[in-house]
Structure 1
Amino acid sequence: MSEAVLDLQGIEKTYNRGRAGEVQVLRGIDLTIARGEVVALVAPSGAGKSTLLHIAGLLDTADSGRVAIGGVETGTLSDARRTELRRREVGFIYQFHHLLPEFTALENIVLPQLANGIRRKAAEARARDLLSRVGVAHRADHRPAALSGGEQQRVAFCRALANAPKLLLADEPTGNLDPETSDQVFAALMELVRDTGLSALIATHNLALAARMDRTVRLDAGRVAPL
């Protein structure tokens, strides 16, 4: 197998719900994603998929277990080093696009590159290339409010890939779209992922979309198993 881009071993997470007591959301998750592999994560609502994605992307910490990204063990990293690794190696896509409303589509993709030390000219060139790949280059100078839902999400895909991460984490990336638009936007996402050689973990309720990925795992009762 190719080098693992994401390696989760023994991930456990418990939340204190006050009077409701403690709730163990993750119960020893083991999951490895190889370079270039696209994995669907299927889970019922409340099963902990968002928690798992946040831990995998270093937005949250596990109570126990091991997280490695690109072979780098993250457990002993400082907060600054975790932030640097996340910014450089991980891209996030959510159900809602979360684009900055006061900036154009192009600027939304340029800004994370500037924050990563890329010069503006190079950042704009990459942004235009990404927009072209998902079919919305002609909307580069429009603000999010002037874009359709599908166009907004395509721009969000481009923003997630702006800094050329190795790992993409997506939480119901087409869940807010109608079925026809969802299918079209997901096809654009998969083409973008394949073209760039990304590894991806994509949470979805849509089994038809899951079937278009390399494999599917199911999260239920705090554990991961093949579907």
Structure 2
Amino acid sequence: MSDVVLELKDIAKTYNAGKPSEVAVLRGVDLSVGKGEVVALVAPSGAGKSTLLHIAGLLDTPDAGTVELGGQNLSGQSDRRRTLARRADVGFIYQFHHLLPEFSALENIVLPQLSNGTSKSAASERAMMLLDKVGVGARADHRPAELSGGEQQRVAFCRALANAPRLLLADEPTGNLDPATSDQVFDALMGLVRDTGLSALIATHNLELAARMDRTLQLDSGRLV
């Protein structure tokens, strides 16, 4: 098995192609993330980092270039094949937690496992283990509205890792939090990533957080520099 979990080759993406409002968001991007590596993607708002993450996570398709996960080229594959690969291999975290409000913290982590064929007892055991790792196990039975912003985001981290993906993609995962809470929550995220040994590509414009990762890439004018 390849030690490269994610590899993007010559990725290009243009919106409104051929129109006066055409915007070339990505221009020949090459990027790789190794097994167990945590990479920071630094870029200002509107620079294309969310587009790049969506392409890396098989939520969007590039106009040109290839996307490989675990050594498998998934460019040009059917929607079903891409969906199966995404469900098995990729976890997503966004700036806002997007937890289901009618379910408890535990249930929010159990549900994606059930849809992936895991038994309820095994799913509950894994969910509780993840919640304990990020320090919110005592809040497992609480619904999102009963949790603080930092606690909600920690639960979202656990949900992203529920199905034991190879790759974690995070888009400004602490951007919705105050600085003190952001530091605490980021520590929890890094602890979770290191404990589980997965690879991560984390978009941020917080240079202090970026410096705590293994490597930093900067996206500028559609290219990595």
Q: Same fold (TM over 0.5)?
A: yes
**Alpha-carbon distance between aligned partners in 2 of 1:17 and 1:143, rounded to the nearest angstrom:** 44
Rounded to whole Å, the distance in 2 between the matches of 1:11 and 1:19 is 21
Over the residues paired in the alignment, what is the CA RMSD in angstroms?
Answer: 1.1
The 1:75–1:128 alpha-carbon spacing in structure 2 relative to 1, beyond 3 Å, is same
Decide which moves more: 163-172 or 14-23: 14-23
Cα deviation per residue 1:24-78 (whole Å; 9 max; x = unaligned)? 0000000011000000000011000000000000000000001000111101321
CA–CA separation in structure 2 for the residues paired with 1:21 and 1:172: 27
Alignment partner of 1:201 is 2:209: no
Distance 2:129 2:44 in 1: 36
Q: How does 1:147-166 map to 2 (within 5 A)?
A: 147-166=147-166
C-alpha displacement of 1:20: 4.3
Q: What is the Cα deviation at residue 18 of structure 1?
A: 9.1
Q: Name structure 1 gaps, 5 residues minimum.
A: none
For residues 56-205 of structure 1, the aligned pairs below 5 Å read 56-205=56-205
1:204-226 deviation line (CA, Å, top 9, x unaligned) = 1110000000010000000012x
Residues of 1 paired with 2:100 and 2:111: CA distance? 10
Counterpart secondary structure, 1:65:
strand
How far is the alpha carbon of 1:22 from its aligned partner? 1.1
Stretch moving more, 36-45 or 70-79: 70-79
TM-aligned CA deviation for residue 175 of structure 1: 0.3
Query: Moved runs in structure 1, 4+ residues, more than 3 A?
Result: 17-20
For the residue of structure 2 that corresponds to 1:135, the secondary structure is coil
Offset of residue 3 of structure 1: 1.3
Specify the code of the residue in structure 1 equivalent to 2:52.
L
Alignment partner of 1:110: what SS? helix
**Distance in structure 2 (CA, Å) of the matches to 1:120 and 1:76:** 35
Q: For the structure 1 residues 17 and 103, does the alpha-carbon distance in structure 2 shift closer, same or farther, using more than 3 Å as the test? A: farther
Q: Given the two structures, how large is their TM-score scaled by the length of structure 1? A: 0.97
- SS where residue 58 of structure 2 aligns? coil
- 1:185 deviates by 0.2
CA distance in 2, matches of 1:69, 1:17: 28
Give the Cα–Cα distance (whole angstroms) in 1 for the partners of residues 41 and 217 of structure 2.
Answer: 5
C-alpha separation in 1, matches of 2:119 and 2:65: 38
Q: AA paired with 1:113? A: Q
Aligned residue for 1:7, secondary structure, equals strand
2:60 aligns to what SS in structure 1? Answer: coil
Q: Identify the residue that residue 5 of structure 2 maps to in structure 1.
A: 5
Identity of matched residues, % = 75
Structure 2: how far apart are the matches of 1:77 and 1:71? Answer: 14
